[in-house]
Amino acid sequence: MLVICRARKYHFNSHQACEKETGGKMKKFMETCYKCKSAVKPSQCIKEGITLNCLKCSRCGEEYLTSSELIKFDIKTGRRKLIRKFGILGDSTFMRLPIEVVKQYKIKPGDYGLFEKRPEGILIKPVHARDIKG
C-alpha cells in the first residue's frame, strides 16, 4: 500500500546544493510507520513502472511517498499536462508556456506577467500590453 505523507520532518531533495550536503538522500520528515510504529528507512518503490523515492517500514513494508514524489509521478505519467520545466538563458531563468494557456488568455509577444506571491506558490496573471498603453 502507498501512503501520501503530509508531515514535514523528511523531504526528498531536488535542489543540487541539498544533494551535495546529504549525498542525494532524503532528509527526515517521519521516523516511524503510522501503521505499526516501526522504524522507516529511505528506499525506492516502483509505481506503474516508475521508480520513486519513498520511506519503507522495516517491519510491515508500508511505503510512504511525499507530495513532491507524487507530483514527479504525475508528470512522468502525463497526468499533469499544464506543467513546464524551468530553463536558463544567459543570466535569466525562463519557462515556456503551454500553447493552451497562450491561446486561452490571448497572450502575445510584448505582454506582461504579473507575479503575485501566494501561500501555495506564485500566481502569474497575464497583462496585455494594449491595456497598459491605453
Per residue in 35-94, pLDDT tens?
A: 999 999 999 999 999 999 999 998 999 999 988 888 889 888 888 888 888 899 999 999
Per residue in 96-131, pLDDT tens?
A: 898 899 999 999 999 999 999 999 899 999 999 999
Q: What's residue 132's pLDDT?
A: 87
Task: Please check whether residue 116 is in contact with residue 123, taking contact to mean a CB–CB distance below 8 angstroms.
Answer: yes
Domains of the chain from N-terminus onward = 2-77 (no CATH), 86-133 (2.10.260)
**How much is the pTM?**
0.50
- pLDDT classification of 10: cutoffs 50, 70, 90: very low
Q: What's residue 53's pLDDT?
A: 93
∠ at Cα 87 (84, 88), nearest 5°? 165
Question: Grid coordinates representing 102?
Answer: 497562450
SS (H, E, C) the chain: CEEEECCCEEECCCCHHHHHHHCCCCEEECCECCCCCCEEEEEEEEECCEEEEEEEECCCCCEEEEHHHHHHHHHHHCCCCCCCCEEEECCEEEECCCHHHHHHCCCCCCCEEEEEEECCEEEEEEECHHHHHC
pLDDT > 70? residue 13? no
% pLDDT > 70, the chain = 78
